[in-house]
Amino acid sequence: MIAKQIQSLFKMLDDRRRKLGMSYAALAKRSGVSMTTVVRILSGRHPQASFENVWAIAEVLDVAVLFQPNTSDEEVRERQARRKAQQLVGMVQGTSGLEGQALEEEVIGQMTRQTVHELLAGSPRRLWGD
């Protein structure tokens, strides 16, 4: 998915260059990026291009590079808490299973919800730590 977004970005930059009537050579000179690199980036053959080079090209083409969150802070924290809670409850479930005391799905759900609540209410270190 990220590769498609990168390809789309590079295509948009190349379309902008064409609409402006700017040659690769002019773009390279103005951006300080070698012409070979400019051509590779805008043709999509350099998906691992450095951010610095892409930024320089975008700046010359007067294209804004914006970073905006896809979701709210709370959604990201809740998603992390759910992931971590499932991991922690899974370890308890595995241990219980080894002892012959497998947990019911309802109990697992309650434990997960409680753990999510505790993770969200507690220390950020615990939420984000491994």
Instruction: Write the pLDDT tens digit of every residue in 20-63.
Output: 999 999 999 999 999 999 999 999 888 789 999 999 999 999 99
The DSSP symbol for 104 reads P
The mean pLDDT value of the chain amounts to 89
Closest alpha carbon to 129 in 94, 79, 80: 80
Burial of 82 (0-12, 13-18, 19+ CB in 10 A): middle
Q: Inform me whether the pLDDT recorded for 96 exceeds 80.
A: no
Q: Inform me whether the pLDDT recorded for 68 exceeds 90.
A: no
Q: Is residue 64 within 8 Å of 23, Cβ to Cβ?
A: no
Structural domain span for residue 54:
2-60
Residue 68 counted as domain residue: no
Q: Is 40 found in the same domain as 7?
A: yes
- Rounded alpha-carbon distances, angstroms, from residue 111 to 10, 95, 97, 118: 46, 14, 15, 10
Q: Which two tokens stand for residue 85?
A: 């809670």
Q: Inform me whether the pLDDT recorded for 99 exceeds 60.
A: no
Q: Is 78 found in the same domain as 53?
A: no
pTM of the model: 0.65
Number of domains in the chain: 2
Burial of 96 (0-12, 13-18, 19+ CB in 10 A): middle
Q: Is 26 found in the same domain as 49?
A: yes
Q: Is 65 helix (H, G, I), strand (E, B) or coil?
A: coil
